[in-house]
């Protein structure tokens, strides 16, 4: 069997409703020389039964007790044999040219990390909206610290030799952002300017838990500026973008008014110009 050029890693826990879609989107890639490493993180539903229905020699399943996605991804990296690694969550999907075009971009450049544009989808695979489409190439550490333009952990393709950092297993969210801040210190990025990532938003997804997400983002900022002193001067800009994002998410999910007011106050502190954004203030204070 040909040695895989790319290792695709899926951490999965109780994803019986979406895992088949995710696997299909990988097996249907135009680029074929990959291994698909699935780390079953102690699923208790029918996830494993669904996975077993796929008869493809490229699929390798490993089981662990429920220990969280960061540890599952780290195990996947340990088991991987490819020269490149890509991660995808068990409820997201890729367009069929994702691996092909990202790999081509890396091979035709001096970059070590490739990323693409992201569309948000709902539980029925319907598009909700397009996320920010920024083309940022080269050394991106400052920019990715200020704002995570990669958007989700199902996006990047990374040269394995540049993946010297692991996912922080002590973080309860934002582990992908933390990893990318670390990787970007010594790796160049390149953008494939095309929507290739379909990022699913569900009511129970970690990204929808605003209060928890705020806490983890603050931890990542503190951790980053402690490790990389030159990032400290960009702390305020990073916090401004985080609170813009969190407040918009809280408003869209109709979270508790007290939480929305807290986020608005923080946003005004880091971005005083928000005080004249009457639409946002009205939406925050009056939405039920």
Instruction: For residues 19 and 52, give the distance between their C-alpha atoms in angstroms, rounded to a whole number.
Output: 11
Return the structure tokens found at 84. Answer: 């490149």
The pLDDT score that the predictor gives to residue 206 is: 54
Fold of 6-199: Spore Coat Polysaccharide Biosynthesis Protein SpsA; Chain A (3.90.550)
The pLDDT score that the predictor gives to residue 1 is: 57
| Confidence category of residue 258, pLDDT binned at 50, 70, 90 | confident
The pLDDT score that the predictor gives to residue 186 is: 94
Tell me the per-residue pLDDT of 10-47, one tens digit each, with 9 for 90 and over. 999 999 999 999 999 999 999 999 999 999 999 999 99
Can you list the alpha helix ranges (DSSP code H) found in the chain?
Answer: 19-27, 47-52, 69-79, 98-107, 141-146, 175-183, 210-227, 235-252, 257-270, 278-286
Tell me the per-residue pLDDT of 76-111, one tens digit each, with 9 for 90 and over. 999 999 999 999 999 999 999 999 999 999 999 999
The answer to whether the pTM exceeds 0.95 is no
Which residues belong to CATH 3.90.550.10 in the chain?
A: 6-199
Cβ-based burial of 49 (10 A; exposed 0-12, middle 13-18, buried ≥19): exposed
Query: Cα separations (Å) of 69 from 11, 65, 254, 283?
Result: 6, 11, 27, 34
Instruction: For residues 256 and 280, give the distance between their C-alpha atoms in angstroms, rounded to a whole number.
Output: 16
Residue 116 pLDDT greater than 70, yes or no: yes
Cβ neighbours around 102 below 10 Å, total: 28
Query: Cα separations (Å) of 201 from 121, 126, 177, 218, 252?
Result: 6, 11, 18, 22, 12
| Confidence category of residue 278, pLDDT binned at 50, 70, 90 | confident
Q: What is the mean pLDDT of residues 123-133?
A: 90
Instruction: For residues 110 and 159, give the distance between their C-alpha atoms in angstroms, rounded to a whole number.
Output: 11
Tell me the sheet residues that pair with 61.
38
Residue 208 pLDDT greater than 70, yes or no: no
Considering only CA atoms, give the Rg of the chain.
19
Return the structure tokens found at 232. Answer: 């400290």
Residue 236 backbone dihedrals phi, psi, to 5 degrees = -65, -40
Return the structure tokens found at 204. Answer: 């129970």
The pLDDT score that the predictor gives to residue 46 is: 97
The pLDDT score that the predictor gives to residue 287 is: 63
Tell me the per-residue pLDDT of 179-193, one tens digit each, with 9 for 90 and over. 999 999 999 999 999
Are the beta carbons of 93 and 195 closer than 8 angstroms?
no
Return the structure tokens found at 95. Answer: 């367009």
Return the structure tokens found at 257. Answer: 């008014």
Residue 7 parent element (H or E) = strand 6-12
Q: Which of 223, 138, 230 is nearest to 177 (CA)?
A: 223
The pLDDT score that the predictor gives to residue 274 is: 87
Are the beta carbons of 87 and 95 closer than 8 angstroms?
no
């Amino acid at each position: 069997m040909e040695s895989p050029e790319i290792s695709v890693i899926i951490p999965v826990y109780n994803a019986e409703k979406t895992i088949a879609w995710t696997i299909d989107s990988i097996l249907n890639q135009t680029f074929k020389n990959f291994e698909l490493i699935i780390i079953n993180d102690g699923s208790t539903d029918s996830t494993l039964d669904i996975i077993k229905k796929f008869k493809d020699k490229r699929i390798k399943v490993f089981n662990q007790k429920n220990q969280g996605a960061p540890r599952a991804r780290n195990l996947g990296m340990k088991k991987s044999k490819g020269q490149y690694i890509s991660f995808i969550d068990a409820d997201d999907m890729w367009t069929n040219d994702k691996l092909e075009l990202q790999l081509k971009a890396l091979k035709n450049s001096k970059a070590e990390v490739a990323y693409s544009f992201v569309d948000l989808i709902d539980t029925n695979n319907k598009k909700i909206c397009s996320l920010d489409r920024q083309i940022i190439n080269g050394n991106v550490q400052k920019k990715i610290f200020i704002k995570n333009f990669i958007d989700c952990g199902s996006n990047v393709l990374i040269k394995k030799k540049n993946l010297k950092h692991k996912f922080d297993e002590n973080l309860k969210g934002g582990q992908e952002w933390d990893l990318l801040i670390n990787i970007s210190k010594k790796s160049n990025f390149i953008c494939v300017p095309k929507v290739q990532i379909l990022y699913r938003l569900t009511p129970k997804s970690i990204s929808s838990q605003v209060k928890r997400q705020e806490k983890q983002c603050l931890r990542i900022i503190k951790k980053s500026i402690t490790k990389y002193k030159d990032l400290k001067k960009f702390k305020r800009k990073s916090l401004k973008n985080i609170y813009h994002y969190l407040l918009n998410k809280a408003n869209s999910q109709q979270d508790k008014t007290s939480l929305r007011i807290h986020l608005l106050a923080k946003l005004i502190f880091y971005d005083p110009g928000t005080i004249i954004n009457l639409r946002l203030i009205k939406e925050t204070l009056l939405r039920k």
